[in-house]
Amino acid sequence: MNSKLSEVLAAAKAENRAALIGYLPAGFPSVEGGIRAVRALIEGGCDIVEVGLPHSDPVLDGPTIQTADDIALRGGVRIKDVLRTVQEVAGSAPEAAVLVMTYWNPVDRYGVARFAADLAAAGGAGVILPDLPVEESEEWRKAAGEHGLDTVFVVAPSSKDKRLAEVTSAGSGFVYAAAVMGVTGSRAQVGTMAHDLVDRTRATTDLPVCVGLGVSTAAQATEVAGFADGVIVGSAFVQRILDAGEDEEAALAAVRSLAAELAEGVRRR
């Protein structure tokens, strides 16, 4: 049986294009505003959305997402709000796949089996757990499997070929290839490491390979779509919302507009 995530990626492939994957943290700038913002990602053209679970110690995030997490946490966002965001978005956009991206400790604390059950019940398609390496993931993968959730693992330019095979064989849905060595945030260039990593990853798996970290413009999306199955954009969306300040309508319009530009970008390859 194909998962929701696999179906969405296969549909994009059938259109001979890369998929567009957008990230925003839940609770940013507020729980209700965050739900509208994630919906705006889909309205603008994202095929897949990653709902971030804001964390007190986002060690893999640059200043932009740190700021958003901070705003969300100060606003009192809880795990139940993250799950409700997933539910509201999945309920109103059945064509999209909704993932949760989270550091491991909140899941660990919430309860591994409980989180998998509640995420599946909310209509979530899977998770990305950037600080949970394959070696520590057995308990999670078992729970995820029982609830039909995909587990997307990250590979990095520093991942050696032997390790790539170990990581990709444990994951499902797609493989998240980090374009650069570093934390999240927009960069002027995506770099040549991404193409090489995608090629090395493909040699180990039939899963789609999607590229993230640093991608922020339509031109970069087009470039990445030339060699990857999906393009992942996060900080650029967060920045649009931060730039809009208190004006929520302007923020949502900016998110939709960027998503539309990027959606055009991934079709231009």
Residue 261 CB, nearest approach to another protein (Å): 27
Residue pair 166/134 in contact by the 8 Å Cβ criterion? yes
CB of 28 to another protein, least distance (A): 15
> Is 61 marked active-site?
yes
Q: Which is nearer to another protein, 56 or 92 (CB)?
A: 56
Please compute Rg for the chain using Cα positions. Answer: 17
Q: Is 161 noted as a catalytic residue in this protein?
A: no
Chain residues that interact with another protein, rule: CB under 8 A: 55-60, 62, 66, 70, 73, 78-79, 104-110, 130-133, 135-136, 153-160, 163, 167, 178, 181-183
Token reading at 77: 């966002």
* Nearer residue to another protein within complex by CB, 121 or 181: 181
Catalytic residue among 32, 43, 47, 61: 61
Instruction: Provide, rounded to whole angstroms, the least separation between the CB of residue 161 and another protein.
Output: 12
Q: Which is nearer to another protein, 181 or 219 (CB)?
A: 181
Strands across the sheet containing 209-212: 150-152, 126-128, 97-101, 48-52, 19-25, 230-233, 209-212, 175-178, 154-155
Tokens of 92: 């109103």
Q: Which is nearer to another protein, 159 or 216 (CB)?
A: 159
- Residue 167 CA: distances (Å) to CA of 117, 152, 201, 204, 211: 24, 10, 10, 9, 16
Q: Minimum CB separation from another protein for residue 59, in Å?
A: 5
Choose the catalytic residue: 50, 81, 150, 223.
50
Q: How many residues comprise the chain? A: 269
Catalytic residues: 50, 61
